[in-house]
Every structure is written in structure tokens, then in C-alpha cells.
Amino acid sequence: MSVPSLSRPAPRRSTAVRLLVAAALAMILGTVVPPLIADVRTMVPTGQLGTFRTEPAEATALHLSGLANQEVPPQNAAEPACADPAQARLGCYRVSGQMVFDRATTTATADAFSEVKVDSHLTVRLEGLRVAEVTDHSILARASALPVTEPVSSTSVTVPALATDITSVPSYRTGLTHFFPPTSERRSYPYFDLVANDSTPIDFIDEAKVGDVDVFTYSQSLGAVDLLRAAAGSQNAEGEAPTDSGDLQSALEQAVTDYSSGMTSLQRVFTGPAERFYSAEERAALGLAAEEVVQPSPYYTVDRVLTVEPDTGVILDAEETYYIFLAGSPEEAEAMAQRPPHPERTVFHAETRWDEETRQAQLDLVTPTLRLFRALQIIAWIFTTAAFLLLVAGVVTVARIRAARRERLLAVAP
């Protein structure tokens, strides 16, 4: 009478195959699918409209139309020094009030899925009156938020007070504008300033929190930029201004459309006797006579701090200080850029920050994506853990199959 075997039956080979295949599938689901979903979700979206407004802030501006027409603004007309508009100093044309920046940015599908068209329109208002508008068009790589390497970007600046437009030709662009790259890093990025028409580094400075969200802050300080040279450079696809004075003037005339009196409008408001632009002390230092005719150029500088959610690249807050002023040389401009706003030669000065509604809207924009990322991390952990357990089970099953085979071989051996 035979005794039945108490050993466990040998597993089937198909069981081991199923376990190993399931382990491979779980590994794919845990390590490949979540990153793919995250990459698609963090691409610059299409079909999106974003509106951005700054908090009302006290700003100073030169009354350009009054200066061009020799009409002192009513709020300054009672000043004795401003009685004769033809002889009045620039300070007689300086006005101040509440300044607000409004920007609308839209994204749309491009010819390629990996690209997105971005159009932006900024309106600057002083006490409700438009003082400037900036329109921008670019095509970005959706995965990096950087411009495509084609001459397709363009910018237009409108100054209603002078009935003047400054429009660029389609050009190359190398820096970020309205978005940061997903998975932003603790490093510097090229950042394109629409007014300066140039890219310079914006530097990582710190980590912080906005509510429960971890953020990075980046800072950029732009040195004095000659706006006339920047306008001339906008007529070149590479953004480079001509070095020859004749070519520079020609490019400037191509860039500027003056609906009132041609190019003379910009030149006229910034041309006059030195005593209009410089104090007696400044004239003495520069060797200028009071009646000597000068034509200082407008220069521009900006300091900005941007708060970025690094996983999505969405900008959550922007603090910027804009300063446009008149200077007779690049050296003079650089010195002025380091000092407080000049009492006479300030064309525009404002310290801005996105208002609470804009900041909250940006935070609300990233919150669902961050929740998705957390869910994807959990899913990835579950599937990778399952893959490991299934792999262990598969290896154990293969080992049992081989052990059973050896037993059978030993059992039939003589």
C-alpha cells in the first residue's frame, strides 16, 4: 500500500509567466505612465485666457502730450516756474496718480502639438487714462516654455499721448516671458523683457511658501537700456541695433509710426535747452551752457521679483519697479539707474505688484495640478510596490518549478 505524498504540488510554468508579466506591467504603470501624465499636464496649455492686474500704486509720469504741445498740466499751471510753457522745466510736466497695469494673455494651438501660440496685451493706466499699451506675440515649446528657434516673435508698443506706435519685425527670441519651465530649477534662466527687447538672466534667489505651496523666487535687475536703440534693434530679426548712426536713424524711422507729425514728435519732446533738463549743478558738472540745445535719450530699467510654483512653472506673483528717464549718455544713464528717480528727467516710475485677486487666481490654477501630482505619486508607489511583490512571487515560483523538476529527475534516476 502506497503512502500519498504530502509535498505541495509544483506550480505551473504559466503561473510564473503570468506573475512576471504582471510585474512588468505594474512596473510600467508605476514608472512610465505617471511621469507621462505629469509631463502632458504641465505643458503650457492651449485655449487658456489669463488676466492679470496690479494693485493701484502711486506712480510718476511725464505728461508727454502736454510737453509736445507746450501745455502745462492744469495741476501744475499755478506754479510760478511753470507760467511760460515754452521755458518751463520738465518738472512742470510731471504728474502723479494711481497707476494700474492690466494684462490679458491667451494661448492657442499652433501647427505642431508640441508648440503653443501666446498673445498678450498690456494696458497701463494712470488715473484711468491710457498711457501705454504693449502687445506681444510668440510661439513657445510647450514642454519648456521657451520660444521656438524661428523668427516668429513680435512686439508692439503704443504711446497714446504721442499718437505713436513702435512695432518690431518678426524676430528670434531666447528668453522666458509669461511662463517658467515645468520642474523649474534653482538656477538662472534667460528672461525676455518686452520693453527692452532683449533677454538677460533672471536668477534664483530663495525658496518660500505661498499658503501650503512651496515656491521659488527669482530676481532680475535690468541695467539702463537705451529705448531708441532698442526700438531700432526691433527692426532686426536678431534684435541687434545698427552701429552706424545713419543706419540707426533709418531703423528707428522704420520702427516708429507717428500718426501726428512723423518721427519729429519723439525727437521734439526730448529736445530743448540744457536748463530744461539739467540743474545748474548738473550743467556745471557736464560743461553745458544753460541755452545749449541738448537731446537726451529715454532709458529704461526694471527690477523684478517673480514667485514661481516650480512643478508647473506657473508664476504666482510679480513685483516690478519700472523706471524710464532721460540721460545724455550711457554712462550718465547707468549712474541714474542706481539712484532714486530724478526730480526732472523721470519719464515714468512705478512700483507694481499683482493684486490679491490675480495672485489667488494663479494659486487656484496650480492647485488641481499639484493634487494630481500627489495622486500620481501614490499611484506610482502602489504600482512599483506591486511590481516588486509580483517579481518576488514570480522568482519564487520559478525557483519552485526548477526544484520540482530536479526532484522528478532524482526520483527517476537509478
In a domain, 200, yes or no: yes
Do residues 233 and 366 both lie within one domain?
A: yes
Together in a domain, 27 and 173: no
- What is the tens place of the pLDDT at every residue in 121-141? 999 999 999 999 999 999 999
Which pLDDT tens digit goes with each residue over 312-365? 999 999 999 999 999 999 999 999 999 999 988 999 999 999 999 999 999 999
Residues 202 and 135 in one domain: yes
Domain encompassing residue 218: 38-370
**Within this chain, do residues 28 and 49 fall inside the same structural domain, yes or no?**
no
Same domain as 315, residue 261: yes
Interior/surface letters 13-24, b for 16+ CB within 10 angstroms, e for the rest: eeebeebbebbe
SS3 (DSSP) at 68: helix
Task: Find the radius of gyration of the CA atoms of the chain.
Answer: 32
Same domain, yes or no: 250 and 376: no
Q: Do 266 and 381 share a domain, yes or no?
A: no
Note the pLDDT tens digit of each residue in 230-281. 988 899 888 888 888 888 888 877 888 766 554 446 667 788 889 888 989 9
pLDDT at 266: 65
Mean pLDDT rounded to a whole number for the chain: 87
Taking a C-beta distance cutoff of 8 angstroms, is the pair 182, 216 a contact? no
- Examine the domain organization and report whether 270 and 127 are in the same domain: yes
Is position 3 within any domain?
A: no
Half-sphere CA count of 119, side-chain side, radius 13 A: 6
- For the chain, the 3-state helix, strand and coil shares in percent, each to the nearest 5, are 35, 35, 30
Residue 5 lies in a domain: no
The DSSP result for 10-35, as a single string, is: PPPHHHHHHHHHHHHHHHHHHHTHHH
Number of structural domains the chain divides into: 2
- Secondary structure element (H or E) that encloses residue 233, with its range: helix 227-233
Helices (H), 311-355: 330-337
Full 3-state SS string of 244-300: CHHHHHHHHHHHEEECCCCCHHHHHHCCEEHHHHCCHHHHHHHCCCCCCEECCEEEE
List phi, psi (to 5°) of 239: 80, 15
Crossing angle between the packed helical segments 356-412 and 13-31, to the nearest 10 degrees: 160
Q: By the 8 A CB rule, do 180 and 206 touch? A: no
Q: What pTM value is reported for the model? A: 0.84
Q: How far is CA 297 from CA 213, 266, 282, 362, in A?
A: 44, 10, 16, 38
Cα-based torsion angle of the residue sequence 361, 218, 346, 340 in order, rounded to the nearest 10 degrees: 120
What's the CA gap between 220 and 200, in Å, rounded? Answer: 8
